[in-house]
């Protein structure tokens, strides 16, 4: 392996250094930040993510609630939970975990969120603000991707602004939570942006584009989708994917990304590992957005403006 492995855990530790103090300062004014997660069903990645977020929330002193519904829950039950959390003054931010079962519409749940508590910017109003370059909260996963890229580019002696403007940046995956907001943040930075999805793959176009990428962001949820032959020599590759793979012999589950790390590392300049790349930063960013939401609820602005920590803030 010759590529630089970007250490997301270290970046996350640096970002979270002030978090517990911010939470305590708010708690002293009577507004302890509160995070709620909503999980429907038994998805392994959703529950693994919930446990990570719970641990971090408790460590930094946030009030934390997880509303877990069975996989057979009706949409009305899930909507009732989102409504209840919206009305609960102890809750500053709400995260609806995916995947949701087929009978529960993601769009309906997102519409039911109070936009002030919508720390992932998935409500139509929040998504519109993000598309206009004026997000109230930068959603945690794409924010983490660009925080990581901004910091890596700076540390490797480059000006991120200039680098983005001179780069072909390809995003694989276009979900409302990850791929689309990542595309918007990339456009705001002046990169030449290409979006690929499952249709691009089916049409035989995916690897035509990934091999042109100077910066490649992969968020497809397909283990090992991108191999060495699918990237350009010297690419900076960010692996967002988290896929649970069960060992046939031991039954143990391990997490892998969408990029075949070993294979791509032979050609890449830098690559993010899974686990230990984007994920740890995402967790911290979610809590930062929760703190920002608590400040907004108090009418005193954001402790962490949602763009702080991103080198090229989108226009607020």
Residues that bind ligand NDP (CB under 6 A): 45, 98, 141, 172-175, 177-179, 196-201, 206, 219-222, 225, 240-243, 278-279, 282
**Minimum Å distance from CB 277 to ligand NDP?**
7
- Give whichever of 185 and 278 is closer to ligand NDP, judged by the CB atom: 278
- Give whichever of 153 and 284 is closer to ligand NDP, judged by the CB atom: 284
Q: How many of the other CB atoms lie within 10 Å of CB of 315?
A: 9
Tokens read off for 270: 């830098």
Helices (H), the chain: 8-15, 19-28, 44-60, 75-87, 106-111, 124-131, 140-155, 160-165, 179-188, 198-202, 206-210, 261-265, 278-298
**Minimum Å distance from CB 23 to ligand NDP?**
21
**Minimum Å distance from CB 260 to ligand NDP?**
14
- Give whichever of 98 and 189 is closer to ligand NDP, judged by the CB atom: 98
- Give whichever of 179 and 273 is closer to ligand NDP, judged by the CB atom: 179
Nearest to ligand NDP by Cβ — which residue?
175
In DSSP terms, 36 is beta-bridged to 65, 94
**Minimum Å distance from CB 300 to ligand NDP?**
29
**Minimum Å distance from CB 221 to ligand NDP?**
3
Give residue 315's Cα distance to chain centre: 20
Q: Are 34 and 294 within 8 A, CB to CB?
A: yes
- Give whichever of 178 and 268 is closer to ligand NDP, judged by the CB atom: 178
CA distances from 302 to 25, 263, 288 (A): 13, 42, 9
């Amino acid at each position: 392996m010759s590529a630089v492995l970007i250490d997301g855990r270290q970046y996350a530790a640096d970002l979270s250094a002030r978090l517990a103090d911010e939470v305590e300062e708010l708690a002293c004014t009577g507004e302890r930040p509160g995070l709620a997660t909503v999980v429907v069903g038994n998805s392994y990645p959703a529950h693994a993510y919930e446990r990570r977020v719970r641990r971090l929330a408790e460590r930094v002193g946030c009030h934390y609630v997880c509303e877990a519904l069975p996989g057979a829950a009706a949409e009305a039950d899930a909507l009732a939970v989102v409504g209840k959390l919206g009305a609960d003054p102890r809750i500053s931010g709400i995260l609806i975990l995916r995947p949701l079962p087929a009978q529960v519409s993601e769009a309906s749940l997102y519409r039911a969120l109070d936009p002030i508590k919508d720390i992932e910017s998935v409500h139509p109003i929040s998504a519109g603000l993000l598309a206009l370059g004026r997000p109230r909260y930068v959603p945690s996963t794409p924010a983490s991707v660009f925080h990581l890229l901004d910091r890596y580019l700076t540390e490797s002696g480059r000006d991120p602004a200039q680098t983005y403007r001179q780069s072909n940046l390809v995003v694989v995956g276009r979900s409302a939570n990850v791929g689309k907001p990542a595309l918007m943040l990339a456009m705001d930075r002046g990169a030449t942006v290409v979006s690929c999805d499952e249709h691009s793959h089916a049409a035989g176009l995916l690897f035509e584009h990934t091999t042109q990428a100077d910066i490649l962001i992969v968020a497809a949820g397909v283990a090992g989708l991108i191999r060495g032959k699918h990237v350009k020599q010297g690419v900076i590759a960010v692996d967002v994917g988290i896929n649970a793979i069960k060992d046939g012999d031991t039954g143990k589950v391990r997490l892998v990304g969408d990029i075949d790390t070993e294979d791509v590392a032979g050609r890449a300049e830098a690559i993010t590992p899974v686990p230990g790349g984007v994920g740890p930063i995402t967790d911290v960013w979610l809590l930062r957005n929760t703190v920002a939401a608590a400040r907004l609820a108090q009418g005193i602005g954001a402790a962490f403006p949602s763009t702080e920590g991103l080198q090229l803030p989108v226009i607020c």
